[in-house]
Structures are given as C-alpha cells and as structure tokens.
Amino acid sequence: MAYSDIYEAWKSDPEGFWMEAAKAIDWIKPPSFALDSTTAPLFCWFTDSQVNTCYNALDRHVENGRAEQTAIIYDSPITGTKKKISYRDLLAQTEQMAGALSTNGIDKGDRVIIYMPMIPETIVAMLACARIGAIHSVVFGGFAANELAVRIDDASPKAILSASCGIEPGRVIAYMPLIDAAIDLASHKPEFVVVHQREQLSAELREGRDFDWQTFQEGAEPATCVPVEGNHPAYILYTSGTTGAPKGVIRPTAGHLVALNWSMKNIYNVDPGDVFWAASDLGWVVGHSYICYGPLIHGNTSVLFEGKPVGTPDAGTFWRVISEYSVRSFFTAPTAFRAIKREDPDGKYKEKYDLSCLNMLYLAGERADPDTIHWAQNLLNVPVIDHWWQTETGWTIAGNPIGIEPLPVKIGSPSVAMPGYDIQILDEAGNLLPPNTLGAITVRLPLPPGTFPTLWNAEERFLKSYLSTFPGYYETGDAGLMDEDGYLYVMARTDDVINVAGHRLSTGAMEEVLADHPDVAECAVIGVSDMLKGQLPVGFLCLSKGVNRPHREIVGECVNMMRDTIGPVAAFKSATVIERLPKTRSGKILRATMAKIADGEAFKMPATIDDPVILDEIKIALQTLGYAKD
Ligand code: COA
Ligand code: AMP
C-alpha cells in the first residue's frame, strides 16, 4: 500500500487504524476501544486495556523463539568493553532487579529516578521498573546536582538507581557526590539509592541509605510482570521549557507500546531480528524510544554505544560499530556527523569498513542542514532520512515512511506527517495558512497513541503551554511551513528553547542561573549558530551599579555557575558584559533580534524598540566574542 492510502485510511478511521496496530502487542486484557475522549482536550488511548511493557519487551520474545537472540550489544570504546546480552539473559537480570525493588517496597505507581551512564544496567533498571509498574524517570548524566534535585522534588521518587561513575573523554565523573548534593538540595528525600559499582571508580556508600547493585539483589525472588492500565505512566522524562522548571513529560503505557512497535517497521524499516542502532543517550527521548523500548518491543537487537562519534578512539568508530554488528538502520543527530566531517572531511576512516549491511541513515534532534545531509549521503551511499519529533510525542511527527513506501527525499524537509498526526501551519490568530507560508507548526487534536497525555503534576501548565494558544491544536513550539506536496520544513523555535548538539536546552533556565550572580543586575541568553553543535548559548550581563571588578572574572564565575547548576551539557562558555539590553518600549528583551545580529542575518528594526543605538553596542560585544561577522 502507498503512504497516501495508509495516511488516508488513518484519517478516515483513526480508531480502526490504531486498533489494528494494537494487535501486534501482547495484552493482558486487550483494549475494547482506542481513543478515550471523556476528558478532552486531554486524550488517552486504550484506557480499558491491561498490559505490561516489560513483558512485551522481553518475556514474549523469550517465549516465542528469540531467547538466544542478542537483545543488547553493549559497545563501549571509552572503556574498551564489548558485550552481547541475549533476550534470555536480559530477562533474567531484569526480573531479578525487579524482584529486589519489589522486596524493598517499590510498588506500582512509585517513582524511581535513574541517574546512570550508557551501560546495560541502565536498561535493566528501566525495564525492571516497567515490570513492576513503577514509573521511572531517567536523568541525563550531563546534568548537575541542582537539575537532579529539581527532578527529585517534582517526581518524589522512593529510590534512585545509579552507578559509581560516568565516563567522558579524559575524565571520570563521580556520580555519588552529585547524588549526595542533589538529595541535600531537594526537599523530598528518596528512601534508598542503589549503586552499580564500575571498575573505573568505586563509590563510597552511605550506611543505611545506599546499597550495592549486586548485594541489593541477592536472595530476591525474580518478579513477575504487574498488569497496568493502558494509561498508566510508563515513565516521566523531563524536558526544557521556557522557564527553569523542566516539564515532566508523561509517557502512557499502552500507546507507547503500540506506537513504538508500529514505528520500527513503518518508519525505520527493520524486521524483528535486525540490528538497530540509535547513537544517542538513554537520558534523552531518543534513547528511551530507540535504544531501549522500540527495538526490544519489536524483537530487534539494539546497540548500546558508550562513546562519542570522534575521539573514542577516532572518527571511524561509527563505521566500525555498523560493520562489526551488521547494523541495518542507524539513527543519530546531525551534530554527530558534523563532528566526524570536521575530523575526517574525506571520509578516510570509512574505507577500512564494509558498510554494505547499512540500508538507511536517520537523523533527528535538530535541523539537518543540507551540507551535512549531502556529505553523509556521499560517504555512506545510503538514503539519509531526516525526521522530526519531540520529547512530548516520543516518536515521529513528520518523517519518511520507508517501511511503507520510501517517498522522494526533499533536502531540508523531514518529509510528511505520519499517520496519527494532522499537521497544520497556523498564523498568530490561529488561521490555517496556505502552502509555503511560515507559521506555527501545530497538530490537530487528539495526538496519536504514545504521545504525552499531560505533564506530571502540572495539568494547568500542560494546558497553558501546549493547548491554549490554538484551541483544538497542539502547539509544537516549532515554526515552519508546508509545501504543496505536504512536505514540512521546520525552521525555528517559537520559544526560548535552543538546540545544542541535539540537546534541548532552555535559555530561560540559563538566565535564571546568571541572575543569581550577586553582581548581575539583568541578563539575557540567546542561541547563536555554531558550525558543530548547531547552536551555542551566549550570555549578556548587565552589572549592578558600583560593581567594578574585572569583567573577565565575573564572566568566568558565571560560566562556572552554569556548569555547576545546569551542568556541562549546557555548553555555556561565552558571555559578555554590556551596559544595557535592547528592549521594546514595554520592556521586552529583543532576544530574537540579538540572535539575528549574532548570526550576521538581516533583521527588521523592531518598531517598538526603545533605543536602536543599543543594537550597535550588542553587535560590537558579539564581535569581540567572534560572532556578528559582517
Ligand atoms: N555526563 C557528563 N558530562 C557529559 C555527558 C554525560 N553523559 N554528556 C556530555 N557531557 C559533557 C561533555 O563532556 C562536555 O563537557 P566539556 O564542556 O567539559 O567538554 C559537555 O557536556 C558538552 O557535551 P556535548 O554538547 O555532547 O559536547 P561534546 O564536545 O562532548 O561532543 C558531540 C560533541 C557532537 C560529539 C556530541 O554532542 C555528540 O556525540 N552528539 C551526538 C548526538 C546526540 O547524542 N544527540 C542526543 C539527541 S539525539
Ligand atoms: P527534543 O524534545 O529534545 O527531542 O527536541 C525537540 C526539538 O528539537 C523540536 O521541537 C525541534 O525544535 C528540534 N528538532 C528535532 N528534530 C528535528 C528535525 N528533524 N528538524 C528540525 N528540528 C528538529
């Protein structure tokens, strides 16, 4: 069937479409209907079903002939480790950990924070929670103690599962000091912490609070799968919004299973048994959906890679992994390819490897720039498929449905709406815009299965952030246009979110950190274009009257504060002191205009600007930082 037939089939009978897709899931009690609109505009899917995620990711494959198939290939060039774990072994490890969690009082609905590096135990931790109906919240290792504390307070976990350390090129990051600091900062106190000791660093455990990973599990009865309702939260994943408080995106269990399973064949074109690799981190949504859940639910072999595209040990590491494990579909962020291109522009490292196994390269997480797409295509000689989605949706909104029908690629576009998504471009007043006209990218409600039904503990915020601007539509926060063939072009964010190396960060949150510096009276953070990371944050600091310390010192302190408060992942390394910020007459800081100046783009002088001369001062300040070139 053609994509257009399938899309139309979904449009004319969404219930029927998703009930059909639901047949691929093993239910404890199958759903009798798909969409639950009783609490509209909050929608749920498969609410009267009973199901277990871990059963679908592990047990059913073990029972149905995949027990000896490799579930996880752990390849860690940063530690020099390689390991294959079969479905049978992954199940054994998971049911043991699930049993230990149960014995220690973790029940269905309890929250568990997972603060762990890219090791198999992290997947065991996620699946163990799913097995007993506990709601996990994985926190990315690049976040500092304060960010962890914010998540502890919002999710109020009974336990934290962690490891002794994470490993970045050139440094070992001890996790326990970060966990100790986070627990000290948080008002909510988790009951216990379970720590996987890595050989690179041994953590000192606190008597009474901390348990060693192995001893914690000793003697525990392996746990069976706990049935949960279709809309039971599988997990909470925090993502950046416009303020310092991250948004807790809830993933509903049944929709998650149905949508991810559907996406593996129809979008990523892999069959059960094929090797699939998403080079991301389990702390991000890509890692949740396509390192852990999607491939396992679908019976694939998933690669868990602990390393970087360059420097671990070289720019050929991706090609080695693809050829060594016969990866069929590979997914990463464009920034990874830019990093490789910078080190190895002629693709010399690739020559050593046979990549004939690879069918397709998928890119997402940030705008895929045409240069990178062309370079990747020429190097790998496979189609490069851009696709667009968000933490909120958990799977593709717009993409190229390769497993249904490969559509012609239009470079610069992530292609077309996936079944389930009715994408509309709206103007500020909420009117539908004609093709090729820039506007807010929205999706007509309801969103499909697997997408977030609301935010954890924050229904008002959910309604205000996503549903209030355009009643009846989900506001994605991205701006763009759609051409006459239905191809979407994602151009920019409409809010304070910036995208640094595929990581979603809030400039609002960064401003809150800078504003805490005792000498800073006022500040702004903008995202400027960067050849490698897509965007980088740059800070502008207006100092309090009478402060006459060297600016370099203050900037250095601000950089350190950002690293200590948000974390190294913020990549906040440049800031400058200025006299005043450009504002409208009503006092709104002109961040978008500042960003245009930084990128050397043409801009329209805002009609309501308070004092246009300030823009010249901004330009000079940016030039001293190496931006705003004429
Ligand atoms: N734990 C602790 N620190 C971490 C971390 C983690 N899990 N992940 C990143 N960091 C640190 C880095 O070490 C770096 O610290 P530094 O300032 O001391 O150098 C900082 O956070 C910024 O990290 P990052 O933006 O990732 O930059 P990088 O220079 O380490 O690597 C790339 C750049 C492009 C190679 C890297 O971002 C990458 O591989 N991206 C792939 C895409 C990806 O994973 N996207 C996720 C969504 S799909
Ligand atoms: P995250 O929630 O971290 O996955 O980030 C989602 C945001 O990243 C989107 O709202 C976009 O701004 C951006 N993004 C993700 N994928 C793409 C893409 N293929 N093209 C353009 N922007 C993208």
Q: Is the C-beta atom of 284 inside 6 A of ligand 1?
A: yes
Beta bridge partners of 474: 443
Ligand 1 in contact with 116 (CB < 6 A)? no
Kindly write down the DSSP assignment for every residue of 536-567, as one continuous string.
EEEEEEEEPTT--S-HHHHHHHHHHHHHHHT-
Ligand 1 centroid to residue 149 C-alpha, Å: 21
Answer whether 267 contacts ligand 2 (Cβ < 6 A): no
Question: In the structure encoding, which two tokens stand for residue 619, read together?
Answer: 């330009």
pLDDT tens digits for range 190-247 = 999 999 999 999 999 999 999 999 999 999 999 999 999 999 999 999 998 777 789 9
Atom in ligand 2 nearest the alpha carbon of residue 387: 19
Q: What are phi and psi of 156, to 5 degrees?
A: 40, 65
Pair 25, 56: CB distance under 8 Å: yes
- CA-proximal residue: ligand 2, atom 13 (nearest): 366
The response to whether residue 339 sits with its C-beta less than 6 Å from ligand 1 reads: yes
Nearest-CA residue for atom 32 of ligand 1: 336
pTM beyond cutoff 0.85:
yes
Helix (H, G, I), strand (E, B) or coil at 138: strand
Mutate to test the pocket of ligand 2, among 236, 363, 366, 500 (most ligand atoms within 8 A of CB): 366
Q: What is the mean pLDDT of the segment spanning 9-30?
A: 98
Check residue 227 and give its pLDDT.
98
Q: What are phi and psi of 228, to 5 degrees?
A: -125, 160
Nearest CA to ligand 1 atom 2: 142
Tens digit of each residue's pLDDT (9 = 90 or more) over 47-106 = 999 999 999 999 999 999 999 999 999 999 999 999 999 999 999 999 999 999 999 999
Tell me how far apart the alpha carbons of residues 517 and 212 are, in angstroms, rounded to a whole number: 39
Q: Residue 290 — φ and ψ, nearest 5°?
A: -125, 5
Residue 470 burial (C-beta neighbours within 10 Å; 0-12, 13-18, 19+): buried
Cα distances (Å, whole numbers) of residue 481 to 373, 385, 397, 455, 524: 20, 19, 14, 27, 29
Q: Is 571 in the pocket of ligand 1 (CB under 6 A)?
A: yes
How many angstroms separate the alpha carbon of residue 465 from the centre of ligand 2?
17
Nearest ligand by distance to the CA of 249: 2
How does the average pLDDT of the chain come out, rounded? 97
Q: Are 76 and 281 in contact (CB under 8 A)?
A: no
Closest residue CA from atom 11 of ligand 2: 366
Q: Decide the pairing of beta strands 398-399 and 416-417.
A: antiparallel
The pair of structure tokens assigned to 211 is 């348990």
| Residue 611: pLDDT over 90 | no
β-strand pairing of 327-332 with 275-278: parallel
- Taking only Cα atoms into account, the Rg of the chain, rounded to an integer number of angstroms, comes to 24
Distance of CA 210 to the CA centre of its chain: 29
CA–centroid distance, residue 402 to ligand 1 (Å): 30
